[in-house]
Amino acid sequence: MTQTQIWILVAIIVVLAVVLGIVIATARSVKKSRRRAEQARQTNEQIAAARRKAAQSTAAHTGAQSRAQATAEQVTVGQAPADKTGTMETTPTTEAVSSAGPAVAKPESGASRGVRLRARLASSQSRFGKALFGILTRDHLSESDWEDLEDTLLLADVGADASERLVDALKKDARISGERDPKAVRQALRTRLLELVDAGHEDRSLVALRPGAQKKKPQVIIMVGVNGSGKTTTVGKLGRLLVAEGKSVLFAAADTFRAAAADQLATWANTSGIGLVRADHDGADPASVAYDAAQKAVADGTDVLLIDTAGRLQNKKNLMDELGKIRRVVEKVTPVDEVLLVLDATVGRNGTEQARVFAQAIGVTGVVLTKLDGSAKGGVVISVQDELGVPVKLVGLGEGPDDLAVFDPASFVDGLVGQDRAQ
């Protein structure tokens, strides 16, 4: 074989290698695209199911909650001032008196519910951790194994940027690359996940529960989120959590466009010993209700005012204008201390899209993730924090009145990797 033939053969081999590389890269890209498309399809199905469930829940509660409305004592509250966006109409409101409703149920303490919810979280989220652990304990991790790991993270809604950072960090970790000891691998995975979950969010406490919060009354918390996310239920549960911490609480039912919202909040108020300010008819001006509640909370020296708001994202511009108006009007009476965004964890990445809309409209200081159980994709905790730059402060893991607790990153990660905190 002549030298020319040898060079031709070498050139052919190089070209074939390049073509093969392009084919492999294309195949991997197609594989990822298909998985992401499947993820989007599953997410859309989950959103549709959540909306159906919310509609069924609203219908089921209507009868019981209308009876709670009938027990409310009527009180007329004063006229709100004109907002910059227009003149606000006077809205007669009613305050639900807890003694008129069912017997008040004593809320579970924060420490007790934290222990109970931590155990539930550990049992419900371990599937995600097991998938990661199963890949990382393979012998001689190949590039294909690392791609499987990244795909697993993406399917769990961790987010593309965060998934890439986690994979890069794990590749550089000697406990992953040089160890086959399962304990060492698990500890490395725990460390890297905790870095992602807890990055830059040292203080996750509610402003109303921080030392010195009692110096400013009321602490005002505005709750925002789309219909079906569990927002009004979360307002009720958060009220109970604050009562358990010794705080006096007042609800403002400023979601005046959903017929069952005020009735639902009245039920929570009556069973938890919490006051309520609401409009006397559907469709009333929500900012007026919030203003009246702020005045009453200041006059009574209430510790915390919780304001429930509408969540009609299909009317996005009107909704966002309304939320901005509520905040401006309340701040004519007292500053707003916290805006909590309630997200349904089961909708996955769509939750981060919702979060951006609300963050732009009213400013969000923290996130409450509801339905963070076996049907949720735990990675949404990471992606929401990563994209919004605000911490997840509270999580809900069940339907019980006290199934809401302060989010603990270490417990969450231990639940993911199936590790006891004592280890």
pLDDT in tens, the chain (423 residues): 788 878 888 888 888 888 888 887 777 777 666 666 665 565 556 555 555 555 554 444 444 444 444 433 333 344 444 444 333 333 444 443 333 445 566 777 666 666 766 666 665 556 677 777 778 877 777 888 888 888 888 877 787 888 888 888 888 876 676 656 777 787 888 888 888 888 766 678 898 888 877 788 899 999 998 877 889 999 999 999 999 889 999 999 999 888 788 999 999 999 899 999 999 887 889 999 999 999 999 999 999 999 999 887 655 678 888 888 999 999 999 999 999 999 887 776 666 777 777 877 788 899 998 887 654 566 778 888 887 888 999 988 778 888 888 888 887 887 777 655 444
Residue 42: per-residue pLDDT: 58
Task: Output the pTM of the full model.
Answer: 0.73
DSSP code, position 104: P
Residue 124: per-residue pLDDT: 56
Peptide bond into 401 cis (omega under 30): no
* CA 173 remoteness from chain centre: 31
d(CA 423, CA 413) in angstroms, rounded, equals: 13
Cα–Cα nearest to 236, from 273, 204, 205, 291: 273
Which amino acid is present at 157? D
Name the residue with tokens 């609480």. 249
Residue 354, helix vs strand vs coil: helix
Residue-wise pLDDT for 302-327, tens only, equals 999 999 998 876 556 788 888 889 99
d(CA 58, CA 346) in angstroms, rounded, equals: 19
Polymer length of the chain? 423
Residue 90: per-residue pLDDT: 36
Residue-wise pLDDT for 357-399, tens only, equals 787 778 889 999 888 765 456 677 888 888 788 899 998 877 8
Residue 5, helix vs strand vs coil: helix
DSSP-based helix, strand, coil % in the chain, nearest 5: 60, 10, 30
The pairing of strands 249-253 and 219-224 is: unpaired
Spell out where 185-248 has E strands.
219-224
d(CA 156, CA 35) in angstroms, rounded, equals: 11
Dihedral sign for Cα 74, 78, 79, 80, please. negative
CB 384, CB 351: distance < 8 Å: yes
